[in-house]
Amino acid sequence: MHMVKILDTTLREGEQTPGVSFSVDEKVEIARRLDEAKFHMIEAGHPAVSKDVAYAIKRIASERLNAEVLAHSRALISDVDAVISCDVDRAAIFIGVTEKKLKSMRMTPEMAIDAAVNAIQHAKDHGLRVRFTAEDATRADYGYVVRICRAAVEAGADRLSIPDTVGSMTPERMKRLFSDLSRDLNAELDAHCHNDLGFAVANALAAVEGGATAVHTTVNGLGERAGITPIEPFAVAMKVLHNVETVDLSKLPQLSLLLEKYSGIPVPPNQPIVGENAFSHKGGVHAAAVIFDPETYEAFAPGLVGRQREIVISKYSGRVAVEDRLKRLGIALSDSELDAVLSAIKEKPEIRSYRDTDLLELAERATGKRLEVQIPKKIEALVLVKCESNVYTTAVARRILWIKGVERVIEISGDFDIEAHIQVDSISQMNEVLENIRVIKGVTSTNTRVILKKFNSEDTN
Ligand code: HCA
Ligand code: CU
């Protein structure tokens, strides 16, 4: 399998996600982090959209990153001029190529070719490299796609993007399309796959098998509607299935968290690679086998992306899992003691999973023994949050809940609007959580109380 370049378009396609708008500083930080993770190309935005979009692109271009920086442009001289003034490496010029889209623009196929060629030549005249995008190519007439792409290459485009703009392709058709295009066109081919049917990762892999030399992705799969190919499963699949290195896989979880924070779009727990549960085992049979040999229930080791395997302790757990967890806490119990712990767990089906402290407490009760362990003491605090009077408190509460270290959030009445329960390992982590709460739009002030001791109602029985 050949080398594949990754173009990240979180800042362009990703900002087209409903509800998402990044600040200029956030964009610059995202671009730096993408560069550190060795992304090859960064599509920084479409400068004709607004002044702040153009300004962010200029700032990113002035960072002199290793990654090639691109700006998006319609096939219009005025859009290309906006790209030229951003000082980027490459213009990404697009025009719709389906019959319907041409009609809506009141253009004949020949007029669209002329518009593309003029825009490309204009960009080339100003020293820019050019990628040409035949928008909605997968639903357009193949002969016309080849014709407009050949004209684009002749005008100076050395990359062509073939987007599946509405995500309606299947992997089989994608592979065939890209192998036909690699035969008929003399340029590097980019695949840009939307996820409307859930095939964005599979279609991108198939495009690569057909001959694509670059794939467009976003962090967490952000983008219009259902988004596009998420980098996390795509890059891992390239490594695991084809042994091809793309970006630095160990940086993906952090990038995902950063984008969860800046986009406000939460990552579901069952999301591959970066979801909370992606490396957790729960069923008794699964846990026992994984503890014996991880490969029994893992396609690849979590360490590949810098994460750790988790064994969930719940009513589904068997002896092996409970024994293993207690052992890791430095506690060895006899068979009968383990039985007592296990049956105590099974008697509380309402508890979805046990944290170490809860498991220990339960084990102490079940065995009647005092268990001495070395678990790092957690720091807990209650943070009271006041919101601006015109903001929707629930939206702020939800954003607080996504911050790592926040365990629980409740809306309250009185002087403050929200109470957040925080649990972290260190004071510096505590400061980080507080900082993350304070920067949320709509938060006016916070008041933090460190928890010294807790009492449960059961303790008094
Ligand atoms: C758009 C369309 C686009 C372009 C992709 C590309 C698509 O939002 O303007 O330039 O490679 O999906 O067709 O994102
Ligand atoms: Cu798109």
Ligand 1 center from residue 235 Cα (angstroms): 21
Query: Which of these is catalytic: 2, 194, 286, 421?
Result: 286
286 is catalytic: yes
Summarised one tens digit per residue, pLDDT across range 98-140 is: 999 999 999 999 999 999 999 999 999 999 999 999 999 999 9
Mean pLDDT confidence for 315-323: 95
User: Can you give the residue range of the structural domain that contains 23?
Assistant: 5-263
Helix (H, G, I), strand (E, B) or coil at 109: helix
How many domains does one find in the chain? 3
- Per the structure block, which two tokens stand in for 197? 């049917």
Query: Within this chain, do residues 182 and 73 fall inside the same structural domain, yes or no?
Result: yes
Dump pLDDT digits (tens) for 3-40: 999 999 999 999 999 999 999 999 999 999 999 999 99
Distance CA 391, CA 406 (A): 21
Q: Are residues 363 and 388 in the same domain?
A: no
How far apart CA 400 and CA 204 sit, in angstroms, is 34
Is the residue at 270 inside a domain?
Answer: no
Residue 457: predicted pLDDT? 64
Residues 24 and 146 in one domain: yes
Residue 374 lies in a domain: no
Q: 116 near 77, Cβ under 8 Å?
A: no
Query: Is 268 a domain residue?
Result: no
Tell me, what CATH number does 118's domain have? 3.20.20.70
pLDDT tens for residues 163-214?
999 999 999 999 999 999 999 999 999 999 999 999 999 999 999 999 999 9
Do the domain assignments include residue 309?
yes
- Are 111 and 251 found together in one domain? yes
96 with 178, same domain: the answer is yes
Q: Model's pTM, two decimal places?
A: 0.84
C-beta separation of 421 from 380 below 8 A: yes
Q: Which CATH number do you get for residue 317?
A: 1.10.238
* Ligand found nearest the CA of 227: 2
d(CA 389, CA 249) in angstroms, rounded, equals 43
Residue 436 pLDDT exceeds 50: yes
Segment 385-402 shows an average pLDDT of 88
Atom of ligand 1 nearest to the CA of 94: 10
What single string gives the DSSP state of each residue in 270-282?
A: T-TTTSTTTTEE-
Q: Best substitution site from 9, 49, 79, 135 to test ligand 1's pocket, by max atoms within 8 Å of Cβ?
A: 135
Report residues whose beta carbon is within 6 angstroms of any ligand 1 atom: 13, 92, 94, 133, 135, 161, 163, 165, 192, 194, 216, 224
Per-residue tokens: 1: 């399998």
Structure tokens at 227: 């988004």
Which has the closest alpha carbon to 210: 191, 192, 229?
Answer: 191
Same domain, 51 and 172: yes
Q: Which ligand lies nearest the alpha carbon of 228?
A: 2
